[in-house]
Structure 1
Amino acid sequence: MITARALVAATHRGPLIPRLVTAAVTPSQITKPALKSLDQWARYLSKAAATANDGSFAAFTHLPRDRPWTVIGIETSCDDTSVAVVTSDRRVRALVTRHQTKQHEATGGIVPTAAAIAHSMALPGAIREALETAGIRNACEEIDAVAVTRGPGLAPKPLVGVHHMEAHALTPRLTQEAPPEFPFLSLLASGGHTLLLLSEGLSRHTILGTTLDDAVGEAFDKVARTLVLPWLPTGGGAGAALEQWAAHATGGYAVTFPVPMRDGRDKPASRLNMSFSGLKTSVFRHVQTLQESDPAAWSAAMASTEPSSGIRADIARAFQDAAVTHLADRLDCVLAETITVRKVHPTCVVAAGGVAANQVLRARLGDVAGKYGLRIEIPPPRLCTDNAAMIAWTGIERLRAGLVDPWALDYVPKWPLNEFKQSESARL
């Protein structure tokens, strides 16, 4: 496994990491020689990591008490290579994110093997740039710990394994002027998860509602693909493209889609959960019918490559309205359940994850929170999507609680948040 401590050590204390590929590649362009070179690189870094790992675990548990901690965070769980330097007094000294948008747009979605290779190519440079931006001259002296999405590390410092979704939930505690206090309600909406949580403390998150099928972010992506919406040059992927097209809707093409599970809002088994598969299928079938019944109209609608009014914009807005209403409905139900049944009064509502960057959703969630006299806390859009600042900050929160992880730490591809316990980490 390629470790961050090896990457930083190679970049700042020893030979430069070889530049294997000089341009972005698509999956079809990945050659056997490139894979062989990558494998040789991984073995080199693993050897460096083994050397750096000599010594007792106690050597990694001494954190400064006379100044704020400086933590480097690394996020590589999906298609963004992100590195951040964050301090325990809530300053983001550097945030470097290398996107793979163009690479994955060509295939209409993320290809895991291509993403992994792109991470391996981008990570050394991203680490170097983040350290330079933060003014870090000697990483081994100035970096106090490394927080990762259950992956790389840096010696001789504490290694803190971070749950990706907990990091999303804790981001407002970094970004907001008045950090949210526990307990709070969390809506985590992304391409891989849609969760409604009661967050009562570090590693203490109770799942109150979840999607029964597709995540809301996946539904946004698939509908954008159905409508053949070009991704934006500014990034954000298919979901951001759909939001921009929906903003140009005029209603000239009259279409609505049913809000999922509205008939079952009062049923105990379903009133707190969500579903987006049926909504996604409704859009697909509507477009398919339109293509067959009026091919000329669809062909005309496809003429525009930039967000503009027309059939595709109206369909995008109709889908977005139904999806956002579904999320708002479920937040309303969960707040009522939490306050009246569980007798827990949350301090606020937190929304995070890539879909929380959607401006329409942010406004609707704020309305629901206001109904209960609560404020809504949402990070800036750039910190809603996957980023290393949230990983570094969560590492700081765990360090404050005296939690570090063994060097044998491995990644966990399936890790339900309600099964994530503090006991999995060693205490300082």
Structure 2
Amino acid sequence: MFVLGIESSCDETGVALVKTQEAGVPRLLAHALHSQIDMHQAYGGVVPELASRDHIRRVLPLTRQVLEQAGHALADIDVIAYTRGPGLGGALLVGAGAACALAAALGKPVLGVHHLEGHLLSPFLSADPPEFPFVALLVSGGHTQLMRVDGVAAYELLGETVDDAAGEAFDKSAKLLGLGYPGGPQLSRLAEFGDPTAFDLPRPLLHSGNLDFSFAGLKTAVLTQVRKLGTNVCEQDRANLAAATQAAIVEVLVKKSLAALKQTGLRRLVVAGGVGANRLLREQLDRACTRRGVRVHYPELALCTDNGAMIALAAAMRLQAGCSQAVHDYAFDVKPRWDLASVSAAASA
């Protein structure tokens, strides 16, 4: 079975084609991605209307590109999957509309996919795929969650952010430091030249006794330090503050992940989402988990950001597991806000 996946939840248009296997993980045949970073840089962040319009321009050319790379035709597609949510409403509607229109023209069924489930399962496309069960740390731009994952559509929320997510903390702190969009990667690059101990920044909820996160207070602490440094701040102070900010975020993510492993008794950790590409986070998780005999799995770096491959994969794995059914109903809707736990088999039973 060939599954075409379309991702359009925010500022990246992704299309991919996967093929299910008789046994094992579906195989990625081809994928293509267009990032809108250059377009949004002038505004210091994502402009939803511009994002939607750009998705319209990109989705069909990317689809043709993917099919050409994979050596397949439209007629070979069995199911078309799309990101149903969460994300920007207008951007989601572009992908959903394109998927359903294409499916209707071909007479093929469609399946709406949860964006975070795509991230959650994306490490199965890596050279070192995980095995169920595992603890998952989901750290994308607007989400920070710890989940227990016992199988496809078998998700239990262990903890989540009560305010800003880790990605938002990176981006907002970067903006306070005068860095451009996207802020997170730029802050991480600047942090390489800084001393993480130069500023004493808080680690919110680090000792809360639960697995929830909070990063709004850290952002406020960064703002306080920026104001203290004044307008004529030197480049070394900016680098030091960037390093201290990154160190605070990473320490919380690492220690909460270790606490989740201890609480569940599991020996396998999956890290997914854009922040999962952060080099310091990977280094510290690898070091801490190696000492504890825990295996850590990441998606390939190219699949850490939003992409069509993770959407096609999630749809294919759900279909293989029998927990979703593609339909010939093309009256689509989208869910800009959508709880990942609600798509689990346990929640729907």
| TM-score bracket for the superposition, by shorter chain length | 0.7 to 0.9
Per-residue deviation at 1:371? 4.0
1:159 aligns with 2:110: yes
1:147 aligns with 2:81: yes
Per-residue deviation at 1:396? 1.0
- Choose from 148, 158, 161 the match for 1:211: 161
Partners of 2:108 and 2:290 lie apart in 1 by: 43
Tell me the equivalent position of 1:197. 147
Determine if contact 1:172/1:180 at 8 Å carries over to the other structure.
yes
1:265 maps to amino acid:
S
Tell me the equivalent position of 1:385. 305
Question: Which SS does the other structure have where 1:259 is aligned?
Answer: coil
Tell me the equivalent position of 2:325. 404
Tell me the equivalent position of 1:222. 172
- After the TM superposition, list the runs of 4 or more consecutive aligned residues in structure 1 that deviate by more than 4 angstroms: 422-425
- Choose from 152, 163, 168 the match for 2:119: 168
1:284 aligns with 2:223: yes
Per-residue deviation at 1:82? 0.7
1:146–1:276 CA distance, 2 compared to 1 (3 A): same
Tell me the equivalent position of 2:47. 111
Tell me the equivalent position of 2:278. 358
Determine if contact 2:139/2:274 at 8 Å carries over to the other structure.
yes
Bigger relative contact order, structure 1 or 2, given CA contacts below 8 A and separation 6+? Answer: 2
1:249 aligns with 2:183: no
Partners of 1:104 and 1:364 lie apart in 2 by: 32
Tell me the equivalent position of 1:418. 341
Determine if contact 2:163/2:216 at 8 Å carries over to the other structure.
yes
> Cα RMSD between the aligned structures?
2.0
Partners of 1:183 and 1:92 lie apart in 2 by: 23
Partners of 1:347 and 1:249 lie apart in 2 by: 34
Tell me the equivalent position of 1:121. 57
Question: Which SS does the other structure have where 2:318 is aligned?
Answer: helix
Question: Which SS does the other structure have where 2:228 is aligned?
Answer: helix
How many residues were matched structurally?
324
Partners of 1:219 and 1:226 lie apart in 2 by: 11
Question: Where do residues 17-416 of structure 1 align in structure 2 (5 Å cutoff)?
Answer: 69-89=1-21, 90-136=26-72, 138-140=73-75, 142-150=76-84, 151=96, 152-153=99-100, 154=103, 155-177=106-128, 179-231=129-181, 237-250=182-195, 254-262=198-206, 264-266=207-209, 271-291=210-230, 295-296=231-232, 298=233, 300-301=234-235, 310-339=236-265, 346-402=266-322, 403-406=324-327, 407=329, 408-416=331-339
1:277 maps to amino acid:
A
Question: Which SS does the other structure have where 2:220 is aligned?
Answer: helix
Question: Which SS does the other structure have where 2:214 is aligned?
Answer: coil
Partners of 2:111 and 2:238 lie apart in 1 by: 45
TM-score by length of 2: 0.87
Deviations 1:129-160 (A, max 9, x none): 11112222x212x1121121122232322312
Per-residue deviation at 1:93? 2.2
Determine if contact 1:176/1:377 at 8 Å carries over to the other structure.
no
> Unaligned regions of 5+ residues in structure 1, if any?
1-68, 232-236, 302-309, 340-345
Determine if contact 2:267/2:293 at 8 Å carries over to the other structure.
no
> Unaligned regions of 5+ residues in structure 2, if any?
85-95
Determine if contact 1:182/1:347 at 8 Å carries over to the other structure.
no
Partners of 1:320 and 1:117 lie apart in 2 by: 34
